[in-house]
Chains A and B, each alone.
Chain A
Amino acid sequence: MQNSAYLLLFIAVMAVATFITRALPFVVLYKISDHPLLRYLGRYLPPTMMVLLLLYCFRDLRFSALSDGPIELLALTLVVVLHLWRGNALLSIMAGTGLYMYLAQ
């Protein structure tokens, strides 16, 4: 019983802490959302974040090891080529993932 009380408290603390990090900019920056600096960041952060999140997915690859990376690179190249060619997000993602799963298994 003590264990489930701890678990419930644990979940509550984590839920509130996570929400705070997501809500803070909306509370703090709300009044100055027209500021040129914020508009500048609002414009350039999304492209920056996409690249960083993409690289974050591969954070466990060691670029020094030759065995690491080719599968990922191959699948990612397929995604890029397909997407530039057809511009169909779902097709690019599914084809890339299919190739990756095939190679990884």
Chain B
Amino acid sequence: MNKSLFLTAFKTTLPVLFGYLPLGMAFGILFNELGFHWGYAALMSTLIYAGAGQFMAVGLLASHAGLVEVAITTLLLNSRHLFYGISLIDKFNACWWRKFYLIFGLTDETYSLLTGTSAPKDKKEIDFYLLITVLNHSYWVIGSILGAILGANLSVNTTGLEFTLPALFMVLAIEQYKVVRESRPFVMATIVGLMSIWLFSRDNMLLMSILLSIILLLLSRGKTKLPKLPAEGVA
């Protein structure tokens, strides 16, 4: 593996590291309270790899939910991912197992990094994407294992560390603006998002605001010509 590419990818994913470690640990600690072996927490984070989904899973496990209910709730909760692929279909140009893994690892944060950053000039985009996905995935798994093993014995005060995630989205929003150079999607999303927080329950807010935004994007399409994209991606 190319060393400088690895370092660039590692730097790019650092905010996610600081977000996923505490979040993964929070999941591990909650999961630990169910009384299962920590290995299952590791298995879940490795195979499912969905933040909100796994927090919901703890609740479903505690109530011994039926598997059909599990399937339906998961599909609904993760339905926002349906829209992530739209921006990445062209970018995931790789052999089947790489593509499979990139799609599997498409969390909110990975999606943000993949659409908001680009590989160093002389490097292959797809290698950069794979590294980012593998790194993010491993942070999540490591955090979950730490949380499940250490459980409540943890004494480090990590209150507030999870702020790295909103900070990351803020930075990536600015980076997106540098590419798009239009205020319309930002203004619209801010209004829709704030309204959705007010109108919908905390669990439905994200999906509802995505649906509303897509409808508004499509409705306002007629007036704008799609400008030519500048060179690939963002800085």
Contact = CB atoms under 8 A, between A and B. Distances in A.
Contacts of A101: 159-161, 163
Given A43-B229, A97-B164, A101-B161, A7 B205 contact: no
A37 to B, nearest CB: 8
A21 B167 contact: no
B136 to A, nearest CB: 14
Given A13-B71, A76-B166, A97-B164, A29 B157 contact: no
Which of B18, B79, B84, B188 is most buried by chain A, counting CB atoms within 10 A of its CB? B84
B159 to A, nearest CB: 5
A27 B180 CA distance: 27
Contacts of B193: 51-52, 54-56
A17 B166 contact: no
Interface in B101-122: 103-104, 106, 108, 111-112, 115-116
Interface string A54-77: 111111110100000000100110
Given A45-B214, A51-B186, A90-B15, A22 B171 contact: no
B8 to A, nearest CB: 12
Contact-residue size bin, chain A (C-beta under 8 Å from the other chain): 35 or more
Contacts of B49: 18
Contacts of A50: 112, 116, 169, 172-173, 176, 189
Counting chain B CB atoms within 10 Å of each CB, the highest count among A10, A46, A61, A90 belongs to: A46
Given A53-B112, A55-B190, A97 B173 contact: no
A23 interface: yes
Interface string A10-21: 111111111111
Interface stretch (B86-94, B124-132, B143-151): B86-94
B197 interface: yes
Which has the most chain B C-beta neighbours within 10 Å: A43, A92, A105? A43
A102 to B, nearest CB: 8
A42 to B, nearest CB: 4
A22 B60 CA distance: 21
A84 to B, nearest CB: 7
B226 A40 contact: yes
| B interface secondary structure, majority | helix
Contacts of B48: 11, 14-15, 18
A90 B159 contact: no
Interface residues of B, number: 89
Interface string B184-196: 0110111011101
Contact of A54 (B111, B166, B185): B166
A101 B166 CA distance: 13
A4 B163 CA distance: 35
Nearest to A33: B89
Given A20-B75, A59-B202, A105 B186 contact: no
A62 B203 CA distance: 15
Nearest to A88: B171
A11 B86 contact: no
Interface centre among B108, B157, B202 (most CB of A within 10 A): B108
A83 to B, nearest CB: 5
Contacts of A87: 235
